[in-house]
């Protein structure tokens, strides 16, 4: 067979390719050139280091004088590809440029953002019902370095305005609060922050960009635990921050110093999750609405919080802020179910489920439940829980992709069997 007849893609090592020893040949074996065709899937750069032609090239990239990659703790192409995809979801329709950074977890994203924006003597305004992990970073880490915080009860712009101080570095908000499902007045908060010249940072984890895009309503930065709806299958951990380019440059510098970058394999999975995010979230939301409506009048439920219910305090605000699709308005897929009774009753509700699963996290294909006071908000004492509007028996229900009828039947039987 002549060379002309050989397959173009047949790997061939040329004759007399060198006299190096076996260990050198093993380390420095030949590599294929990058393909000319654009791959349909995202390539995964599973490498810690990148090679340069010269020492000066290395210095220029590491010193941020030229674009490129040197070390995957600094930047990685797969992590950047995921960040870019997440930014495109959040930035739709905006008139300004938007940047993003990917992190190893939602808490890495949150803590790095807080550390990047605060210094000794800074002040933070946050909701009393803030996620327990965020509360822990503020109270147990930042306060040790002279950062103070005001946790605002209520969800209105006037309460935020009253809490501001000259040293306030940022206002933190949650689109849908964990676990109370309170909806933040994002446009009102943004107006207050704009007048004060400080950034509004919004945790959009419970919504995802398929339900709400806080940058559209004036937020400076949006943080999301990508572990949840973006990943969507309970098999990956990550976080992402999207927003103002100058603020994101500060956050990138802090991320490099603190070392919390997203790993390439996780970046691949999260980028893949973006591809089906709108389809999955639409189904999550439709099922959650059906479950909430079916349980709203159950005699064993003292309170059920879901933004899609007309009885929810911020139902009209949710109508304004949240996205719609062919299936209707999307109100998220988290329910806060509070049966009458104490902590033991809440735990009994979790244990009584057959379809729903007691598990950490949320936003995956499985419906998962957690007893709030003993798990996600364990960092809070009883006074802090009460200030956040969380009862001892409250159970957070993350609606998955099961059939609505099965979930309704499962929750009803568990409620009916609760101890009196």
Catalytic annotation, residues: 73, 131, 203, 228
Task: Tally DSSP H helices, then E strands, for the chain.
Answer: 13, 14
Q: Is the separation of the CB atoms in 371 and 338 below 8 Å? A: no
With a CB cutoff of 8 Å and minimum separation 6, the contacts of 392 are: 342, 343, 346, 373, 382, 385
Mapping DSSP to helix (H, G, I), strand (E, B) and coil, where does residue 301 land? strand
- Cis ω for the linkage preceding 284 (within 30 of 0): no
Containing H/E element for 132?
helix 132-136
d(CA 10, CA 33): 13
Of the candidates 169, 122, 111, the residue with the CA atom closest to the CA atom of residue 148? 122
Q: Is 359 exposed, middle or buried (0-12, 13-18, 19+ CB in 10 A)?
A: middle
Q: How far lies 54's CA from each of 60, 61, 148, 152, in Å?
A: 10, 11, 47, 54
Q: How far apart are CA 391 and CA 373, in angstroms?
A: 8
Return the closest-CA partner of residue 261 out of 99, 104, 109: 104
């Amino acid at each position: 067979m002549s060379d002309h007849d050989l397959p173009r893609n047949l790997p061939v090592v040329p004759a007399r390719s060198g006299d190096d020893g076996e260990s050198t040949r093993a380390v420095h074996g030949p590599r294929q050139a990058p393909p000319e065709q654009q791959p349909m899937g995202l390539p995964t750069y599973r490498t810690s280091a990148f090679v340069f032609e010269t020492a000066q090239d290395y210095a220029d990239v590491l010193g941020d004088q030229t674009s490129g990659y040197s070390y995957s703790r600094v930047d990685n192409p797969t992590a950047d590809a995921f960040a870019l995809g997440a930014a495109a979801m959040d930035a739709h329709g905006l008139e300004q440029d938007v940047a993003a950074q990917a992190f190893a977890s939602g808490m890495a994203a949150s803590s790095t953002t807080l550390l990047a924006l605060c210094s000794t003597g800074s002040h933070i305004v946050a909701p009393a019902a803030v996620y327990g992990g965020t509360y822990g970073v503020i109270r147990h880490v930042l306060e040790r370095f002279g950062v103070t915080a005001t946790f605002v009860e209520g969800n209105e712009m006037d309460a935020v305005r009253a809490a501001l101080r000259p040293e306030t570095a940022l206002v933190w908000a949650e689109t849908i609060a964990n676990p109370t499902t309170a909806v933040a007045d994002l446009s009102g908060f943004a107006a207050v922050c704009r007048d004060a010249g400080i950034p509004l940072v919004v945790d959009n984890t419970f919504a995802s960009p398929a339900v709400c895009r806080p940058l559209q309503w004036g937020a400076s930065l949006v943080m999301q635990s990508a572990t949840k709806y973006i990943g969507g299958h309970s098999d990956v951990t990550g976080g992402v921050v999207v927003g103002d380019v100058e603020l994101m440059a500060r956050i990138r510098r802090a991320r490099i110093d603190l070392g919390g970058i997203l790993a390439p394999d996780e970046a691949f999975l999260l980028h893949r999750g973006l591809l089906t995010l709108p389809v999955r979230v639409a189904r999550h939301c439709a099922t959650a609405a059906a479950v909430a409506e079916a349980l709203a009048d159950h005699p064993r439920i003292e309170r059920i919080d879901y933004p899609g219910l007309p009885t929810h305090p911020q139902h009209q605000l949710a109508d304004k802020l949240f996205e719609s699709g062919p299936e209707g308005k999307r109100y998220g897929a988290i329910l806060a179910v509070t049966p009458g009774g104490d902590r033991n009753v809440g735990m009994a509700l979790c244990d009584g489920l057959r379809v729903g699963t007691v598990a950490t996290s949320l936003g995956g294909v499985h419906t998962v439940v957690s007893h709030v006071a003993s798990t996600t908000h364990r960092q809070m004492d009883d006074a802090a829980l009460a200030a956040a509007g969380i009862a001892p028996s409250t159970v957070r229900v993350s609606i998955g992709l099961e059939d609505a009828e099965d979930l309704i039947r499962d929750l009803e039987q568990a409620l009916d069997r609760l101890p009196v």
